Amino acid sequence: MDKLLAAKSEPLWNTDKRIIFLISGLIVLLFALPHFGLNSFYLHLMIMIFMHAVMAQSWNVIAGFSGQISLGHGAFFGIGAYATSFLYVQYGISPWIGIFVGIILSGFAAILIGIPMLRLSGHYFAIATLLIGISFQIIFQRWEWVGAASGVWVPMTSGDSWFALQFHSSKMPYYYIFLVFFIITFFLVWILSRSKLGYRLRAVRDDPQAALSLCINVSNYKIIAYVISAMIMAPMGSLFAQYILIIDPDRVFNIEISIIVLLITVLGGIGNVWGPIVGAAILIPISEYSRIYLGGTGGAVDLILYGLILMLICIFRPEGLISFFPKNILERKKQR
Positions touching another protein (CB under 8 A) are: 63, 67, 69, 71, 116-117, 119-120, 122-124, 126-128, 130-132, 134-135, 138-139, 142, 259, 262-263, 266, 270, 298-301, 303-304, 306-311, 313-315, 318
- Residue 218 C-beta: closest distance to another protein, Å: 16
Main-chain phi, psi angles of 118, to 5 degrees? -80, 0
Taking the complex as a whole, the smallest distance from the CB of residue 265 to another protein amounts, in Å, to 9
Task: Please provide residue 296's backbone torsions phi and psi, each rounded to the nearest 5 degrees.
Answer: -90, -50
Q: Whole-number minimum distance, CB 134 to another protein, in Å?
A: 7
Q: What is the DSSP string of 270-298?
A: TT-TTHHHHHHHHHHHHHHHHHHHS--TT
What are the DSSP calls for 93-157, one per residue? --HHHHHHHHHHHHHHHHHHHHHHHTTS-THHHHHHHHHHHHHHHHHHHH-GGGTGGG-EEPPPP
- Of residues 179 and 284, the one with the C-beta less far from another protein: 284
Nearer to another protein, 67 or 95 (CB): 67
Shorter beta-carbon distance to another protein: residue 33 or 301: 301
Determine the distance from the C-alpha atom of residue 94 to the mean position of all C-alpha atoms in its chain, rounded to a whole number: 23
Q: Which residues of 249-288 are buried (b: 16+ CB within 10 A; e: fewer)?
A: bebbbbeebbbbbbbbbbbbbbbbbbbbbbbbbbbbeebb
Residue placing its CB nearer to another protein in the complex, 55 or 179: 55
Distances (CA, A) of 228 to 14, 60, 98, 232: 24, 11, 18, 6
Least Å distance between CB 132 and another protein?
8
Residue number with CB closer to another protein (121 or 157): 121
Q: Which is nearer to another protein, 105 or 266 (CB)?
A: 266
* 323 residue type, one letter: S
Q: How far is the CB of 176 from another protein (least distance, A)?
A: 33
Amino acid identity for residue 141 in this structure: Q
Closest CB 23 distance from another protein, rounded Å: 27
